[in-house]
Structure 1
Amino acid sequence: MIDVVLSLTVRELTHADLASCGWAGTPLHLAGVERQLERVRSGEVDYLAVCARNDVPIAKGGVDYLVEHGVGTLWQLAVHPALQSCGIGTVLVSAAEQRIKDRGLRYAELSVEDDNPRARALYQRLGYVARDRRPDAWDEQTSDGTPRRHETMCTVMRKDLS
């Protein structure tokens, strides 16, 4: 067995980073991320990148402060598929929670698709508790570029950061 130690930094995701984030989703998804980056300037959201030594993002995710008063809502969380289950998601979520606390907010919330048990297990391990279920939907592209509507059921989870 070989242990690999990654030196990670967390910083703001930038428009320039999107060219190296193809692992995070389709071009349609990345166009949506680009639109969300415009909201960073107004303080409505934080959008973070976890980077290895070469400063290229290997994980990304946002915190939206307008979804519910007094709550930072984590969304669009993704870790490079080849690096999942290495603790990088924990680093990302912890950094997002710190941003929420730095704003004086008490709660972090996120939604996880019911068909994503690995992510749900991570969030539970990090102290998130299921509090609701609701449908969600978004537009995406198939592998051949055809647009389609993705509909799913999500569990809403919350963590008290106090």
Structure 2
Amino acid sequence: MSSVVVELSARDLVVADLASIAWSGSPLHVANVARQLERARLGEVDYLAVCPPSDVPVAKGAVDYRVKEGTGTLWQLSVHPALQSCGIGTFLVKAAEHRIRNRGLKRAELAVEECNPRARSLYERLGYVAFDRRPDSWDEQAPDGSLRRYETMCTLMGRSL
């Protein structure tokens, strides 16, 4: 068995990347990401892109500094489906934690859907510990373009940095 090593870098996600992240969700989701880029411009969030040398995002995610005092809250973490389980999610979380530490904060938190045990396993391997549960919901765009409400239960997890 042979392996290929590809260098990754993390940088700010920018408007020009939006067309390249359609794999991360519906057009409604990508429009939401565009709105979050305005918050990034204001310094309320960091929105990251993980890229190979082509500089095309293969993962993306954000850190919100307004959710909880003294904490960076990771959210909208996503790795291209064809590249999952290759270490890119770990790279993304570590890059987000680096941004949190650079702001002088010492805690990272996130919410993981209870129907996503693979993601929870990753976060546990990275030192995140469950501390609560809460329901969450958002609007999703169906393939026919209609909107539907998605409801889920999330486990809240955190770790000291």
Do both share a fold (TM > 0.5)?
yes
Q: Cα offset for 1:6? A: 1.1
Taking the TM superposition and a 5 Å limit, the aligned residue runs for 1:62-101 are: 62-101=62-101
Other structure's SS at 1:57 match:
coil
Partner-residue secondary structure (3-state), 2:58: strand
TM-score by length of 1: 0.98
Unaligned runs of 5+ in 1: none
Query: What do you get for the CA RMSD once the two structures are aligned?
Result: 0.6
Amino acid in structure 2 at the alignment position of 1:64: D
1:100 to partner: Cα distance: 0.3
Post-superposition CA distance 1:16-59 (Å, at most 9, x none): 00001110000000000000000111110000000011100000
Provide the TM-score with structure 2 as the length reference: 0.99
Amino acid at match of 2:100: I
Find the counterpart in structure 1 of residue 13 from structure 2: 13
Q: Deviations over 1:47-96 (max 9, x none)?
A: 00000111000000000000000000000000000000000000000000
Query: May I ask how many residue pairs the two structures share in their alignment?
Result: 161
**After TM superposition, where is structure 1 displaced by more than 3 Å over at least 4 residues in a row?**
none
Matched, 1:135 2:154: no
Name the structure 2 match of 1:58: 58
Take 1:8 and 1:41, find their aligned partners in 2: how far apart are those partners? 24
State the Cα distance separating 1:10 from its structure 2 match: 0.6
CA–CA distance in 1 between the matches of 2:145 and 2:81? 21
Matches within 5 A, 1:104-119: 104-119=104-119
Q: Which residue of 1 aligns with 2:121?
A: 121
Cα separation, 1, equivalents of 2:58 and 2:107 = 26
Deviations along 1:93-135, one digit per CA (max 9) or x if unpaired, are: 0000000001111100000000000000000000000000000
User: In structure 1, how many angstroms separate the alpha carbons of the residues matched to 2:38 and 2:113?
Assistant: 26
Separation of aligned partners in 2, 1:5 and 1:143: 36
More deviation in 142-151 or 131-140? Answer: 142-151
Alignment partners' CA distance in 2, 1:140 and 1:29: 8
1:111 partner amino acid = A
Deviation at 1:2, TM superposition (A): 2.0
- Tell me the CA shift for residue 144 of structure 1: 2.0
The amino acid of 2:42's aligned partner reads: S
Q: What 5-or-longer segments of structure 2 have no aligned partner?
A: none
Distance across 1 between alignment mates of 2:3 and 2:142: 36
